[in-house]
Structure 1
Amino acid sequence: MIEEINNTIPILKEGGLLLYPTDTVWGIGCDATNADAVAKVYQLKRRPDAKALICLVSDVAMLERYIPEIADVTYDIIDLATKPTTIVYDNPAGIAKNLVAEDNTLAIRVASDEFCRKLIRKFGKPLVSTSANISGMPTPQSYKEISDEILKGVDYIVNLHRDKKGGQPSSIIRISKNGVVKVIRK
């Protein structure tokens, strides 16, 4: 795992794209603060950039660096979630502008996967995390189902968990600054 993290960090620093196992499914990732790298993800997925992507952070401390106002209920939801849960936050700061939705929100998940947490912690910044498929196509349930176009379109493929069967996409909820919770995807 350490070797894969060490192989991955230079790619991220150079604005490259990764294919990596996440706590849900295989994902395409990049430095969430690098607008050029984010643009490459949209281009590879053939996805309109008006359709926002998810970010992963290593822990709550990293989350707090990019989301200035977090409702108190958020901490309970993160602690008590029984499956990966992505939360949509208002007014992110320090993130690539083309990653932030038109309504000035950003979807972020605290990674539960050990590799992802360690990678993000060592990199020191959030990672984009979007399913490893062309927009509109089914989400691959295993590494073997990832299309050649995606495999050839990334700069580095993490050599871990390639036999892992994909899980379900995360739940997505929105929490406003005043603590109102809205479920977007169960």
Structure 2
Amino acid sequence: MITTSVVEAAQCLHKGQVLAYPTEAVWGLGCDPFNEQAFHEILRLKQRPIEKGVILLAAQIAQVEPLLKDLSPEMYEQVINSWSNRKPNERATTWLLPAGEHIPAWIKGNHSKVAVRVTTHSLCVALCNAFNGFIVSTSANPAGLEPARSLQEASRYFSGDMNYLNGDLGLSREPSRIIDAETGEVIRA
């Protein structure tokens, strides 16, 4: 299915299906992070080992607030500012946050933290809001290949068994940088 409706796309996620959709810089694959079967379908499609973990994408800080409670006040402010004050063409920031007990082990992989990004990309914001929570966001490509940057590229990678939310990429030229919120270490520059 190819749709431009975020409501239809959110329904796919609620049904346990995988969705390809445009993000700030590249196309992503998403699913309900609490649906283990859907998550394993993403791993199968990407030929990605579960140990790596994935990013969770949210539309609002309130959706990830429980993950921020253990940060120092200074780091909390830095994380919030990176999400709140990002310009549309500026590279997004994903933060590694303490995962707590409510994040499934399969999302974290072999890590004690979870990668989280609050997006300003209007289509992703609408999708997360229609889904009513955060969603999995991992680049739409099989392991070792370049991330898809269009619906056509994504559909070449994954063919007809996929659901697609068609729309425009954001203005960022690069996928998000990844920073550990507890140590400040830059994982992906």
Residue 57 to residue 137, structure 1, CA distance change in 2 (3 Å): same
User: Residues 2-40 of structure 1: CA distance to partner in whole angstroms, max 9, x if unpaired?
Assistant: 961111122111110001011221111111121111111
- Distance in 2 (alpha carbons) for counterparts of 1:130 and 1:97: 16
- What is the deviation of 1:91? 2.5
User: Residues 30-89 of structure 1: CA distance to partner in whole angstroms, max 9, x if unpaired?
Assistant: 111211111111011011111111110111111114554233322233334542110011
- Distance in 1 (alpha carbons) for counterparts of 2:176 and 2:65: 21
Question: Any conservation in 2 of the 1:88–1:108 contact (CA below 8 Å)?
Answer: yes
- Distance in 2 (alpha carbons) for counterparts of 1:118 and 1:36: 24
SS in 2 for 1:148: helix
Structure 2's unaligned 5+ residue stretches are none
**Structure 2 partner of 1:167:** 173
Root-mean-square deviation (Å):
2.3
- Distance in 1 (alpha carbons) for counterparts of 2:39 and 2:71: 24
- What is the deviation of 1:101? 2.8
TM-score (norm 1): 0.85
**Structure 1 partner of 2:117:** 109
Q: Which moved more, 1:141-150 or 1:40-49?
A: 141-150
- What is the deviation of 1:147? 5.2
SS in 1 for 2:97: strand
- Distance in 2 (alpha carbons) for counterparts of 1:153 and 1:126: 23
- Distance in 1 (alpha carbons) for counterparts of 2:72 and 2:84: 14
Higher relative contact order (CA 8 A, sep 6+): 2
2:81 alignment partner, one of 73, 76, 81: 76
Q: Which moved more, 1:118-127 or 1:77-86?
A: 77-86
SS in 1 for 2:109: coil
Q: Does residue 132 of the first structure (1) align with residue 137 of the second (2)?
A: no
Structure 1's unaligned 5+ residue stretches are none
- Distance in 1 (alpha carbons) for counterparts of 2:144 and 2:52: 12
Residue 142 to residue 71, structure 1, CA distance change in 2 (3 Å): farther
TM-score (norm 2): 0.84
SS in 1 for 2:24: coil
Aligned residues: 180
Question: Any conservation in 2 of the 1:89–1:174 contact (CA below 8 Å)?
Answer: yes
- Distance in 2 (alpha carbons) for counterparts of 1:68 and 1:35: 26
Residue 64 to residue 18, structure 1, CA distance change in 2 (3 Å): same
Residue 140 to residue 3, structure 1, CA distance change in 2 (3 Å): closer
- Distance in 1 (alpha carbons) for counterparts of 2:124 and 2:116: 13
SS in 2 for 1:181: coil
Q: Which moved more, 1:33-42 or 1:93-102?
A: 93-102
**Structure 2 partner of 1:157:** 164
| 1:8 counterpart letter in structure 2 | A
- What is the deviation of 1:118? 1.6
Q: Percent identity?
A: 28
- What is the deviation of 1:166? 7.6
Question: Any conservation in 1 of the 2:25–2:149 contact (CA below 8 Å)?
Answer: no
**Structure 1 partner of 2:184:** 181
